[in-house]
Structures are given as structure tokens and as C-alpha cells.
Structure 1
Amino acid sequence: MTKGYALTVDPELRDLRAADHLLLRLAAELALPDGAFGCTHLLRGDRPRVALSFTWPTEPLLRTAREALTGQGYEVCDGVPDAVGRAVAYPGSAALTGTLTIAELLDRSGIDRVTVLGAAEPPRPDTRLMTRDHVRPHWQDGSLVLSAMPAVGGTLVPFEVPDPTPCCADH
């Protein structure tokens, strides 16, 4: 994950979508500055759930956020739960809407690279990505990486869909 000053909030949520909504609400309340990240982390074990982490570029911002979050009743701890968080709020994330080329995506955001499922090579810079206004890269070995998959007409889409169908929805 990115270097900086981090803290984790465990809101005891089991639903990734609810965690995304809470993270984005808290990010807005905390007015995350440029260079800050908000990620979700899947916590396994006897109580599977989704934790939230925030990373700021400076320590005073961390102190202010800790005070605000504990003031709202959240239990907060230092650091991040793991090094493979799923970025929800990150530099440039709000600008990743509509259809962009890979070059535009990388230029406009904190994403370091794009991989395509089943492909040995990265996509060409002029390859179009239909964002579906839902771009959730993951941290891999210190880099923010978006996994994409082929779509209609030689385009790509992010691997994660915005509105997944819950397991067993039709039973």
C-alpha cells in the first residue's frame, strides 16, 4: 500500500457495497485531500467482515481524522489490516467516468497499471475502458492495479461490476 499515515475503522459490516457507501460518506466528511486513499479490506476468521482504511500524506491530517471518527463512535486503530486493500477513494477516482483510454485512466488517477484477465501483456495505451463509473483497483506489491476483462468491440471493463448479483439470488 501507499506510504503515509494510516488508520483502520472496523464498522462491523459484512456487505462490501455498504462498506463502499460508508467509506465514501466518511471520505467526504473528512474531506480527503489529494494523495489520500480510502480502501476496503476483507477480514476473515470467525467473524468475516469488511474494514475500512484511510491513508493520509501527513500526520496532522491523520490526527484530525482520528478525532473526527472516534467522535462519531467508531473504533479506530493505527495502520492498515493488510497490504492488499481495494481502493475506493484514491487520487483521481472521481474523474474515472464514462469511457477512457488506458493512457487517460493512468494519467488521471493514482492507478499504476492495468492488467487484463487471461492476457500475458498489459493493454495498449489506446485501448478503451468502459468504466461503468465503478473503478476499484487493488494494491499489489505496493502498486495500485486495476484488473480488467475484455468486453464488446475490443474494449475493456473493470473486472468488478458495480451492482453484483448476490449469490443464490434466483433461489
Structure 2
Amino acid sequence: MTPPAAPYVLGIDTDATTLREADHLLQALAVELALPEGVFGCTHLVRDGRPRIALSLADGTEPVPRTARDRLTARGYALRDGAWDATGRAVLYPGADRATGTLTLAELLARSAIDRVTVLGTPEEPGPDTRLNTRDHVRPHWQDGRLVLAAMPAAGGVLVPFEDPDPTPCCAVH
């Protein structure tokens, strides 16, 4: 799988400051704009004078429809052709809705656009029968043109995605 490239990628500047906020915005826009199932929707950390999380939308084969661009502009979003970087964090991707529950890695790769799973701290890739408890929150990243999910070992001999669906805010216990 290769990440869609400009002009097939629509960048959307936002005021989102958390990944959770950006995820919800991206999912809401996909519904509101009636985007097809094969769309890739990613988040991108923007570190300039106004740190924020921008979004990108693409289906890989054709530009985002002009009507979607018009509706986003009417809502006050600044748009650009292309994403902020090539390592976007995928929230929407083919098969994302089927990456739920506990699956073998072979099932995950067959059901979704994810190309590969890596395990933090290990040089080799896990076997296809390795089980992954998705926690219903699978956010792969683009790496060298492939959609890659970073995972880590968890209790019970399974893997879990590295990104926690309910992270504890920094300094929450202070």
C-alpha cells in the first residue's frame, strides 16, 4: 500500500489540540461529507507558531470531491493540497471498522489496509498467529509507503496497539 499523494490528498487545518479531539472531528467530517469507505483519514502533528493537529483525507485514486472542499471551506477550514507530512496517523482506512476485538495478526492484515505490525523493543516481526487485542482502537502510521501498526506485549501473551485508547493525562495524579 502506498499513501495517497497530492493532488489526491486534501489537508485540513484545524484548531484541534488533542488526538482524541482530532479523531472525533475526522470521524464526524467523514460522516457529514458522506465520504466513501475506502478513504484514508489521518492526523498530523503541526509544530509551528500554533501547535495543533491537522487532518488529511484521500482515497488514493481521485481527488476529494469539489463539494467536500466547498463544504469544508464554508465551515471556515483552511485547506491545502497534500498532507503536512508523510507519516500521518491513520484513523480512517479501509477495514478500520473490522479491526475490533481480539484477532490474529493474519486476520488483521487480511481485513484492513494495514501492511505490517511491529512490536516495540523487538527486531523481528511477530508471527501471523500472534493474537492482538485491538481494544477497538487501532491507529497505524504511514512508514516508507506502508501502513504500520506499532504494538506491545500485554498480559495473557497477546499484543495490544501501542496507542492507548484512554491515556491518562500528564500530571493527572498531582
Q: Is TM more than 0.5 here?
A: yes
Match of 2:116 in 1: 113
List alignment gaps of at least 5 residues for structure 1. none
Q: Pairwise mapping of residues 14-163 of structure 1 onto structure 2 (< 5 A)?
A: 14-59=17-62, 61-163=64-166
Query: Does structure 2 retain, via aligned residues, the 8 Å contact 1:103–1:126?
Result: yes
**CA RMSD, 1 decimal:** 1.4
Query: Does structure 2 retain, via aligned residues, the 8 Å contact 1:9–1:53?
Result: yes
CA distance in 1, matches of 2:42, 2:56: 5
Query: Does structure 1 retain, via aligned residues, the 8 Å contact 2:152–2:159?
Result: yes
List alignment gaps of at least 5 residues for structure 2. none
* 1:136-169 CA-partner distances (Å, limit 9, x unpaired): 0000011000000001121000000001011111
Query: Does structure 1 retain, via aligned residues, the 8 Å contact 2:9–2:64?
Result: no
**Offset, 1:60:** 5.4
* Percent of aligned positions that are identical: 67
What is the TM-score when the length of structure 2 is the normalising length? 0.93
**Offset, 1:18:** 0.5
Q: Pairwise mapping of residues 6-21 of structure 1 onto structure 2 (< 5 A)?
A: 6-21=9-24
Count of residues in correspondence between the two structures: 171
CA distance in 1, matches of 2:121, 2:16: 32
What is the TM-score when the length of structure 1 is the normalising length? 0.94
1:2 counterpart letter in structure 2:
P
CA distance in 1, matches of 2:76, 2:48: 24
**Offset, 1:101:** 0.4
